Structures are given as structure tokens and as C-alpha cells.
Amino acid sequence: MILSFSSCKKEVKEEKTEPETDNLIVVGFSQLGAESDWRAANTESMKSVFTEKNGYRLIFDDAQQKQANQITSVRNFIQQEVDYIVIAPVTEKGWDTVLKEAKDANIPVIIVDRRVDVSDESLFTCWVGSDFELEGKKMAEWLYRFTAEHDIAPEDVHIANIQGTIGATAQIGRTNGLRWAVEEYGFDLLAEVPGEFTKARGYEAMESLLADYPDINVVYCENDNEAFGAIEACEAVGRIVGTDIQNGEIMILSFDGVKEEALTDVLEGKIACIGECNPLHGPRVESLIARLEADQSISKYTYVDEEIFSADESIESLLIDNTVYNVIRLTPEYVEERMELFNVGSYTNTNQSQDAY
Ligand code: GYE
């Protein structure tokens, strides 16, 4: 008697919970890892938007920089019959098979941040992220203009590039942006070495660069965390980071501008220039899903507008491919304002999120 009563009670309980979860849109998100401050802000942005309160159930998976883990989690999402799959891919190649599986299961796939390099573009629904090559070109153009302004010949600009994760769109684009300027202006590119977008690898890379290239005077770091490591490595051997490269300083250039420390480094002259990379993709992805749910059209590719920051006043704007980009002069007030964007809980207050709610 008691047994059958309790099993009966259990059934009632199950019936009660099912309809609630049925109403939620289930999103499986394969995040590539947690290598940088940018990535932490990106994860937070996604998590703060895909909440039950907003009508979603988020299944989050951190792939720890391994594409194989991402492929496994996408397969799990397919098996769980999620409504949408979102992937922030670690590198571009090798996605065809698993994306075909998602397509066959009729699950829309949204690619965020870095891209996938697939032969058939119909294997994913859309992509949203940054124009990484433009970020790189803006930075390289700023360097060209700055050095020209200070009467430094391009061949006397001895640059090392500490690259990001090799094969990642952010690395490919930023590396190509610098190569474009090397070709165009004749800078001396000493070396391109991988730094995996982390502070630890940035430090190690800088240590060896200082030993191998005594004339190095510019370090192009493909993100701020690498720059933090590079600055520490320079300071550890008594080198001064700054823009006075004619008098022995080492100029640090970098990308992201997410963590206060990076912007403070700009104010203090330790980082000469930062190319903004915006990580707040949660509301953008949500907005795309909301449109898909409402059968509205979406763009295959959505680019995010980004700024370039420096504390130096000499270069006010840059001209690239017939477009003028203003250089934002960093001030303590601007830094404070910008940091509000990254306070937990305010991620949804960006312009792009407005139409999603
Ligand atoms: O710049 C870097 C991160 O893919 C845009 O990855 C992203 C890059 C970002 O680790 O900090």
C-alpha cells in the first residue's frame, strides 16, 4: 500500500515540473575556454542573458581550448535535442562533420566571436563577432602614423608579434593586419611567436624575444593578457615600457580593453594603444534567437563596431580603406564610464540588446 502510494505521488510530481521546462528555449553553448579577461566577460554576458527569467535554459560547456571537447559537447547538445546550438569556436578548421550532424538534426547553429572555416556556409545559421583584420590594420596604421610623427623610419621600427591561439580567427585577422602594414610601409617584423592569449605565455614569449632580438622596440600583443605578461617580462630585466622608442623604451600594443588594468596601463603609458574588442555578445546572440523564433530575417554576418584607444594625443584619426576611424583619447573619466559596461548585471544594457526584450 505504502509503496504504490509513494510511486503515485512521484508521478504527480513529474507531471507538474514538465510543462514549466517545456516553455523554455533550450540553448547549448560551447564556450572554447577561459583563457583571458575577454573570455570571462564573454561567458558572463552569455550567462546573464540566457536565464530562466528571460525564457531560456542554458546548457553551458567550457571546452578548455580543445576543439575535440567542443565537438563532443555539440554532439551532446544534438542528443539532448536543444533548440539552438551556440558555438564560440577555438579555431576555424575542422567543423564540417559536426555541423552537418546539427543541420541533419534541424538545430540552428549560431557561431559567435571567432569563425568556422567550412566549405558549405549553410552548415551554420549565422555568425556575430568582430572584424579582427580591421582591428589589426587600425593598430598597425596607428603605429605607422605615430612613428612617422616622431621621425622614426619604418625600417627602424623593430616589431615582434606575440600571436594568439594559432588558427583562431582573432589571431589570423590581427596577424594579417600587421603583415599588411609591414608590406605597405616596410616595418621590420622580427618575429611572430605564439602566446595563446594568456599572460603566462605572453611573459615567456617576451623573455625569449628580449634575449633573441636586442633591437626589439615594439611588441604587438594580440590581447591584453599577453601584454600584461610582456610588460612584466620587460620590467623584470629593467627595460622600460613606453612610447619613447628612440631612447630605449619598448612600445606595447594590444587588443581587447576589457579589464580596468589594461586601460589604466594605457593611462600610465605602459600600453601605447589598445584596439577595442567587444565581448558582450550575449544580448546580440539573444536578439538573433528572438528574431529566428519570430520567423524574422537575420543577417548571416553581424559585425560589432569597435574603437581604438590611446592616451597619446598626436594621432586623432586613422584612414583605412577609405574609412575614417577616430582614435579615442583615454581619460580617467572615459575609463570609469567604460568599466560600467563590464559590471556584472549590466551586460544587457548595451544598445544591441534593446530590441531583444
Ligand atoms: O581578443 C582574446 C581572447 O576571440 C576575440 O580571444 C577573442 C579573443 C580575445 O582570448 O582575449
| Closest residue by Cα to residue 49 from 128, 119, 118, 103 | 128
* Ligand 1 center–CA 288 separation, angstroms: 22
Read off the pLDDT of each residue in 207-211 and give the average, rounded to a whole number: 98
- Quick check: is 357 in a domain? no
Quick one: 177 and 80 in the same domain?
Answer: no
- Quick check: is 101 in a domain? yes
Closest residue by Cα to atom 5, ligand 1, is 170
User: Letter for the amino acid at 173?
Assistant: G
Pocket test for ligand 1, best of 225, 277, 284, 304 (most atoms within 8 A of CB): 277
Quick one: 215 and 325 in the same domain?
Answer: yes
Quick one: 158 and 243 in the same domain?
Answer: yes
The per-residue pLDDT for 21 is: 52
pLDDT at 242 over 50: yes
Looking from the CA of residue 279, the nearest atom of ligand 1 is 5
- Quick check: is 19 in a domain? no
The per-residue pLDDT for 291 is: 98
Quick one: 188 and 83 in the same domain?
Answer: no
- Quick check: is 353 in a domain? no
Return the percentage of the chain with pLDDT > 90, whole number: 89
- Quick check: is 219 in a domain? yes
pLDDT at 109 over 60: yes
Q: What is the mean pLDDT of the chain?
A: 92
* pLDDT band (50, 70, 90) for residue 49: very high
* Ligand 1 center–CA 14 separation, angstroms: 43
* Ligand 1 center–CA 254 separation, angstroms: 11
Which position has the higher pLDDT, 6 or 34?
34
Quick one: 51 and 125 in the same domain?
Answer: yes
Return the percentage of the chain with pLDDT > 70, whole number: 90
- Quick check: is 140 in a domain? yes
* Ligand 1 center–CA 89 separation, angstroms: 11
The per-residue pLDDT for 239 is: 98
Read off the pLDDT of each residue in 24-40 and give the average, rounded to a whole number: 98
Pocket test for ligand 1, best of 87, 174, 223, 281 (most atoms within 8 A of CB): 223
CB 188 within 8 A of CB 353: no
Per residue, what are the HEC states of the chain?
CHHHHHHHHHHHHHHHHHHHHHCCEEEEEEECCCCCHHHHHHHHHHHHHCCCCCCEEEEEEECCCCHHHHHHHHHHHHHCCCCEEEECCCCCCCCHHHHHHHHHCCCCEEEECCCCCCCCHHHCCEEEECCHHHHHHHHHHHHHHHHHHCCCCHHHCEEEEEECCCCCHHHHHHHHHHHHHHHHHCCEEEEEEECCCCHHHHHHHHHHHHHHCCCCCEEEECCHHHHHHHHHHHHHCCCCECCCHHHCCEEEEEEECCCHHHHHHHHCCCCCEEEECCCCCHHHHHHHHHHHHCCCCCCCEEECCCCEEECCCCCCEEEECCEEEEEEECCHHHHHHHHHHCCCCCHHHCHHHHHHC
Give me the domain span that covers residue 75.
25-129+279-304
Quick one: 157 and 243 in the same domain?
Answer: yes
Looking from the CA of residue 114, the nearest atom of ligand 1 is 4
Read off the pLDDT of each residue in 48-69 and give the average, rounded to a whole number: 98
Quick one: 242 and 315 in the same domain?
Answer: yes
Looking from the CA of residue 169, the nearest atom of ligand 1 is 4
Residues with CB under 6 A from ligand 1: 35-36, 38-39, 113-114, 130, 170, 197, 223, 255-256, 277
- Quick check: is 78 in a domain? yes
Quick one: 210 and 230 in the same domain?
Answer: yes
Quick one: 270 and 176 in the same domain?
Answer: yes
Quick one: 148 and 294 in the same domain?
Answer: no
pLDDT at 8 over 50: no
Quick one: 89 and 107 in the same domain?
Answer: yes
Which position has the higher pLDDT, 69 or 22?
69
Q: How many domains does the chain have?
A: 2
The per-residue pLDDT for 141 is: 98
The per-residue pLDDT for 343 is: 72
CB 257 within 8 A of CB 274: yes
Looking from the CA of residue 256, the nearest atom of ligand 1 is 1
- Quick check: is 6 in a domain? no
Q: Among 22-36, 63-77, 333-347, which stretch is predicted with the lowest mean pLDDT?
A: 333-347
Quick one: 238 and 316 in the same domain?
Answer: yes
| Closest residue by Cα to residue 95 from 65, 74, 64, 126 | 74
- CATH number of the domain that residue 222 is part of: 3.40.50.2300
